[in-house]
Structure 1
Amino acid sequence: MSIAADRLSDPAVRAFVTALNAQDRGAFQAALAPGATMSDDGTERDLADWTEREVFSSNGRMEVESEADGGRSLTALYSNDTWGAMRTRWAFTVEDGKVSRFETGQA
């Protein structure tokens, strides 16, 4: 059973997931705070490079399975054309209504 992006509890996380799934670069950038950072499996990554490779050029999408911490912690089936599908965890830091950091990795 998945949770539709428009039903996610945290508005900033909802905007992030909705933009990612729509492959909407403008909306995705708008969901991020200036200077936002991220890590993948515990390794710091360049956010622009990572999102281009793992999301936009490879048709990335998230099917959210569950949320916790007021919607700032997700478990999702993440898939893209490069890696296929994998169960992932996502933790978001939100400041002033925008995602300032996210950490993802295999669940």
Structure 2
Amino acid sequence: MTAPLNPVVEKFVTALNEHDRDRFYGLLTEDATMSDDGVERNLAQWTDSEVFDSNGRMRIEDVVDGGTELVADYTNTRWGSMRTNWRFMVRDDKIFRFETGQA
């Protein structure tokens, strides 16, 4: 059985899947950072390209590390479907960093 998600991470996944930009960015600190496959990315440019402009969706397969790490089937119109790892760093009910990459 998959462990429960951290509440902030759960809200992030829901906002991403519902393409709710305001709610999505509201869960991030103003100085939030991210990486994709180990490469630092501009968070706004990456999320526009990989999530909002390409109908990104995440289907969670497994959750570990207290609900802050997960494996998901990630699908968008740019790349299709791929198995991905996600790791979130949360402080004061906000995500200050997330890292993703192919699993």
1:78 equivalent to 2:70? Answer: no
1:103 equivalent to 2:94? Answer: no
1:54 equivalent to 2:64? Answer: no
Give, as a single letter, the amino acid of the residue that structure 2 aligns with 1:69. D
Percent identity of the aligned residues?
A: 57
1:69 match: 65
Q: 2:8 aligns with which of 5, 12, 18?
A: 12
The DSSP-based 3-state class of the residue aligned with 2:30 is strand
2:21 match: 25
Q: Distance in 2 between matches of 1:56 and 1:31?
A: 16
Task: Give the CA RMSD over aligned residues.
Answer: 1.5
The DSSP-based 3-state class of the residue aligned with 2:90 is strand
Q: Distance in 2 between matches of 1:48 and 1:78?
A: 18
Give, as a single letter, the amino acid of the residue that structure 2 aligns with 1:76. A
Q: Distance in 2 between matches of 1:33 and 1:63?
A: 24
Misfit runs of 4+, over 4 Å: none
Q: Distance in 2 between matches of 1:11 and 1:60?
A: 21
Q: CA deviation at 1:8?
A: 4.2
The DSSP-based 3-state class of the residue aligned with 1:62 is strand
C-alpha distance after superposition, 1:8-40 (max 9, x if no partner): 421110111000000000000111112100000
Aligned length: 103
Task: In structure 1, list runs of 5 or more residues that go unmatched.
Answer: none
Task: In structure 2, list runs of 5 or more residues that go unmatched.
Answer: none
Scaled by the length of structure 1, the TM-score of the pair is: 0.92
